[in-house]
């Protein structure tokens, strides 16, 4: 019952982590939650890490437990800022648009803006950190999906249901720090048959895994993977930013 509630929160864009969900389950088992009102309060406190997602949590809670209508995020009206952005793009004629970090899927209006740009015949790319569901992202958008490896400490936050929403024009990127990361990435590719689903990128973490070492592993294993280097580290090695 509550597992579906957890997935619905993630689907609409609330970045709920498995760890926080297990913490909520612990509160339920300990008897701290004895009513639906208690569950609402505990869930909001444990699952939602930012005030910007309180309204979404409330909408999902009312929909799931009380039958209220849940507005599809794709049906949001564009804000004035988003409309101004579209006007600017029409003026400059940018043919390719990249949505990148922070996390684009946490931003207001993102789905409507993606659809509006596609309607203008733009090539649209979306870089996302892998922890949020991409099922609502229009299929024409090129998704560049990060899969965090174990050395990052974030691999348990990955939403592996995203593997079912990949297209051949999409990219899955692994950033590797060690041989353990490499082996995990190879196993993940095999488990989800990612070599048949999308383009694959392996990128070494500067100062932790030499690019030549990673290249040797890739050649030895004959993996269908593209080696990607962090160009900003090569071009501006002493700077945190390129300009």
Summarised one tens digit per residue, pLDDT across range 105-129 is 888 778 888 888 888 888 999 999 9
Please indicate, yes or no, if residue 132 is contained in any of the structural domains. yes
Please indicate, yes or no, if residue 92 is contained in any of the structural domains. yes
**For the segment 60-107, what is each residue's pLDDT rounded down to a tens digit?**
888 888 887 776 655 566 777 778 878 887 777 789 999 987 788 888
pTM of the model: 0.65
pLDDT at residue number 164: 85
Please indicate, yes or no, if residue 180 is contained in any of the structural domains. yes
d(CA 120, CA 118): 5
* Residue 24 CB burial class (10 angstroms; 0-12, 13-18, ≥19): buried
**For the segment 30-46, what is each residue's pLDDT rounded down to a tens digit?**
888 888 888 988 998 99
Residues 6+ apart with CB under 8 A from 50: none
92 in the same domain as 130: yes
Please indicate, yes or no, if residue 138 is contained in any of the structural domains. yes
Q: Which domain holds residue 169?
A: 75-235
- Name the band, by pLDDT with cuts 50, 70 and 90, for residue 171: very high
Compute the Cα dihedral for 63, 74, 53, 79 and give only its sign.
negative
Please indicate, yes or no, if residue 241 is contained in any of the structural domains. no
d(CA 147, CA 128): 9
- State how many domains the chain has: 2
Share of the chain above pLDDT 70, in %: 94
Both tokens of 228, joined, read 């990607």
């Amino acid at each position: 019952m509550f597992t579906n509630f957890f997935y619905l929160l993630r689907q609409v864009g609330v970045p709920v982590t498995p760890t926080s969900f297990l913490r909520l389950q612990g509160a339920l088992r300990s008897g701290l939650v004895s009513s639906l009102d208690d569950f609402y309060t505990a869930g909001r406190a444990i699952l939602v890490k930012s005030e910007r997602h309180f309204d979404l949590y409330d909408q999902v809670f009312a929909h799931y437990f009380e039958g209220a209508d849940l507005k599809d995020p794709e049906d949001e009206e564009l804000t004035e800022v988003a409309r101004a952005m579209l006007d600017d793009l029409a003026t400059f004629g940018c043919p390719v648009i990249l949505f990148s970090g922070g996390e684009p899927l946490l931003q207001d209006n993102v789905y409507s803006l993606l659809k509006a740009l596609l309607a203008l015949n733009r090539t649209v790319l979306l870089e996302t950190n892998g922890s949020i569901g991409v099922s609502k992202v229009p299929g024409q958008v090129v998704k560049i999906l990060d899969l965090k490896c174990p050395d990052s400490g974030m691999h348990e936050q990955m939403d592996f249901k995203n593997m079912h929403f990949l297209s051949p024009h999409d990219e899955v990127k692994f950033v590797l720090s060690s041989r353990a990361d490499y082996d995990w990435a190879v196993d993940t590719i095999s488990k989800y048959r990612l070599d048949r689903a999308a383009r694959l990128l392996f990128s070494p973490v500067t100062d932790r895994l030499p690019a030549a070492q990673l290249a040797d592993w890739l050649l030895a294993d004959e993996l269908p993977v593209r080696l990607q280097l962090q160009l900003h580290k090569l071009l501006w090695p002493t700077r945190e930013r390129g300009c």
